[in-house]
Structure 1
Amino acid sequence: MRVLVVGSGAREHAIVRSLQADPDVTDIACVPGNAGIAADVRVWPVDVASGAAVVAAARDFEADLVVIGPEVPLVLGVADVLREAGFAVFGPSAAAARIEGSKAFAKDVMSVAGVRTAHSEIVDNPALLDEALDRFGPTWVVKDDGLAAGKGVVVTTDRAAARDHAAELLEIGRPVLLESFLDGPEVSLFCLVDGLNVVPLLPAQDHKRVGDGDAGPNTGGMGAYTPLPWLDAQTADSIVTGVVEPVAREMVARGVPFSGLLYAGLAIGVEGPAVVEFNCRFGDPETQAVLALLTTPLGGVLRAVADGTLDRLPALQWRDGSAITVVLAANNYPGTPRTGDPITGATGPEYMHAGTALRDGRLVSAGGRVLSVVGVADDLAGARADAYAAMDRVHLPGGHFRTDIGLAAAEGRISVPSRAGS
């Protein structure tokens, strides 16, 4: 099987690496890829937002399967164009990708499906903003209603900061979603979905804030770990049966069945799981950790979803232990990152490249999240030690990373809240 991977991040590098371990995958290419991916497989520049350009790449490579990593081409309908051209695709249609592309659409799906989520309101008129803000708080959650690469969200107890963010979005013509704040630890659960069939992967936890102790602004993700020692199997199962399966059924009922990876981001509060958001693809940086523990060959898994045969896929197999991803970011990220700085020491299978490029034969930074370091060990403490030892071997001027990814879980400081007296 020849597999074309679409994307240029550490998520796609992790997918490529996992596909390389599948004996049934005979060749892999990635468009547009990055400098690290180019060291593993063939890459070439392609506008991944263009269905015609991706179809041309798939034809050039003679792909048997196309795996789309990022959300933008999915929301823009690249998977539809590929399917119309006769290619097997891992990734949802544009209509189904609205589960991520429009938070208002996702809220409506969840409402009809009976899935718990935050109370929300859409504001598209600046004159109505202050009145709407008064109905929320004391912690305000302000989101861009469209795609924002994980950085369009402000969670704050400062009403003025919430108002400023909302006003900035409205000024550039972006509708604003106001939500009630969901308390409790967050969980990322990836599920393979093929219409009504749902197969969960290992639950993970992402670290969105840029600084240690969850300080600073939101990012696209600064690190993740899996599995979650504080999440019991019963609660994990309830996310599948009470959240993902009802949403999958509702998508089918609407005539927009989901095919691909449905990512539920949830908060686990005293009332149980509640959805923070849905994504229509593998998450980054959780993918790097989750795939590090998957022993079932990935190519066959993704092809089963693309072919609509997920119900015939044998149970997924996982290695024991823990995996962790730590992200190295460029100077000034999540603001406008400084690029072009030299990177040294990032050689080995534990490094998944994202914002990297080769210039005059030197590896340099070319984006905000530069690379991910993956550690795997028998337990979370060991995986942390493995990842941070690898991070210490990398040098990037002005680069920064969090030192506390997975720390609270490793020290037993995370628990699911319970009702008083229970």
Structure 2
Amino acid sequence: MKILIVGQGGREHALAWIALRSPLVSQVFVIPGNDGMKDVATTINLKADDYEGIIRFAVNEKIDLTIIGNEQPLIDGLADMMIENNILVFGPSKKAAMIEGSKLFAKQMMKKYNIPTASYQMIHSLEEAELYLNKQTFPVVIKIDGLAAGKGVVIAQNYDEAIAAVQSSLSLNQPVLIETFLEGIEFSLIALVHQNQVYAFDLAQDYKRAYDFHKGPNTGGMGCYSPVDLIPLDAVKEAMEKIMRPLAEGLVNEGIPFTGFLYGGLMLTKEGVKVIEFNARFGDPEAEVILPRLKSDLINEIMNLMQNKPVQLEFINQACVGVVLASIGYPGHYEKGLPIEISEHPKRILFHMGTKKEANQFVTNGGRVLINVTLGESIEDARNNCYKTLKTIQSESLFHRNDIGQLKS
């Protein structure tokens, strides 16, 4: 099989890496990809939003399966365009991808299908926000309605912080969601979904804040680990029965069935498991710590799923920890093109998130640049391996958190 992956970051590198391990796969292409993933894939020099070019390539190259990695092409309807051109694609339609593209749509679906989540209010003006916030207890959560690459969330500790966050969000001409603050243990549950079939991967736990001890602004994710022993099996079953399956079945009922990776950003609260958010694709950096633990052949299981055959996702007993190296200044302003010295190490997998090669040396080319991933017999063992091997990457332009894998509740 020839596989095409659409995207350019660490998630797509991880997907290409595991796709190439499949006995079914002869070649992996990534559009546009990055220079760091050329160890496992052929990158194609097309722009990420050149959808006509992507379709033309898939047809001419006789691609057997396309996996759409990141959210923007899904929101733009690339999966629909591919289906119209008889290209087998693993990724939701434009309408189904609205589960990520619009927080309001997601909330409406959850309300209609009795899926537990935080209560909320949609805000369209500052005056509306002032009236609503005067009646709330703090903290509250402020979210932009549309896509924000994991950075459109503010936890406001008081009225002034909430008003400032609403003003900032409204300045982007986006409606704003104000939610009650959920307390508990946060975790990521990602599933393979095709219509009403739902199969869960092992759990992961992401670290969103930029700095140690969960300080600083929200990011796209500064590190991750899997599995998550803090979450009992009963809670996983509850999440599948009350959240993931009802959503998939609800989308079928609405006439917009979902096919692809369905991401549930969930929290185990005192009242049970509740939804923080849904995404229409594999999480990043969750993909980079879940996929190295996957014993099953991902491509074979995706093909089984799409042919309505039984699916079995099996995982190795080892734990996995990944630490992101980000450009200094991220998630705010940062420079690109700064050198990185990388020495090989047998105990780690290095996924490239935002690099390019200049004069035979890798340089920075994004906010999140690399993710250093290691396995171990336990989370602590994997964490120790991760931070030891991290020393083989040298750059004055990068920073990382020092507490990834220190179990958080």
How far apart are 1:172 and its partner, in Å? 2.6
Correspondences of 1:167-186 after superposition (within 5 Å): 167-186=167-186
Conserved in 2, the CA contact under 8 Å of 1:203 and 1:227? yes
Which residue number in structure 2 is paired with residue 49 of structure 1? 49
* Structure 2 CA distance for partners of 1:346 and 1:192, relative to 1, 3 Å: farther
Q: Please give the secondary structure, in 1, of the residue aligned with 2:128.
A: helix
Deviation per CA, 1:353-401: give whole Å up to 9, x if none. Answer: 0110112322100000001111101111111011111211101213111
**Cα 1:345–1:49 shift into 2, 3 Å:** same
Supply the AA of the counterpart residue of 2:400. F
2:351 aligned with 1:352, yes or no?
yes
TM-score after normalising by structure 2: 0.97
Q: Is the 8 A contact 1:49 1:78 kept in 2?
A: no
- TM-superposed CA distance for 1:84, in Å, is 0.7
Matched residues in 2 for 1:334 and 1:92: separation? Answer: 28
Q: Deviations over 1:223-276 (max 9, x none)?
A: 111111111111111101111111111111100011111110011110010100
> 2:193 and 2:311 mapped to 1: Cα distance?
15
CA distance in structure 2 between the aligned counterparts of 1:118 and 1:50, rounded to whole angstroms: 37
Post-superposition Cα deviations, 1:271-302, rounded to whole Å, max 9, x if no partner, equal: 01010000000000011100010011111122
Question: 1:363, 1:222 → 2: CA distance?
Answer: 20
How far apart in 2 are the matches of 1:267 and 1:357? 36
CA RMSD of aligned residues (A): 1.3
Aligned partner of 2:114 in structure 1 is 114
- Matched residues in 2 for 1:198 and 1:61: separation? 31
Unaligned segments of structure 1, at least 5 residues: 415-422
Matched with 1:293 is: 293
Question: Given the alignment of the two structures, is residue 383 of structure 1 paired with residue 390 of structure 2, yes or no?
Answer: no
Secondary structure of the structure 2 residue equivalent to 1:392: helix
Residues 8-407 of structure 1: matches in 2 within 5 Å? Answer: 8-305=8-305, 307-309=306-308, 312-345=309-342, 347=344, 350-407=349-406
Q: Report if the CA contact (8 A) 2:304-2:311 is conserved.
A: no
1:177 and 1:125 mapped to 2: Cα distance? 11
Q: Give the letter for the 1:332 counterpart.
A: G
Distance (Å, rounded) in 1 between the aligned partners of 2:83 and 2:343? 37
8 Å contact kept, 1:50–1:78? no
Aligned-residue offset at 1:10? 0.4
What's the CA shift for 1:136? Answer: 3.0
Contact 1:137 1:157 in 2 (8 A): no
The C-alpha deviation readout for 1:131-159, integer Å capped at 9, x for no partner, is 12223331021111000000011012132
The answer to whether the 8 A contact 1:202-1:227 is kept is yes
For 2:156 and 2:343, the matched residues in 1 are separated by: 36
Give the letter for the 2:336 counterpart.
T
Query: What SS class does the counterpart of residue 287 from structure 1 fall into?
Result: helix
Contact 2:2 2:25 in 1 (8 A): yes
Which consecutive aligned stretches of 4+ in structure 1 deviate over 3 angstroms post-superposition? 346-349
Q: Aligned-pair distance for 1:124?
A: 1.2
Q: CA deviation at 1:315?
A: 1.9
1:58 Cα offset (Å): 1.2
Distance 1:242 1:355 in 2: 37
CA contact (8 A) 2:200 2:313 kept: no
Q: Which segment drifts farther, 119-128 or 372-381?
A: 119-128
Aligned-residue sequence identity (percent) comes to 35
**Number of matched pairs:** 407
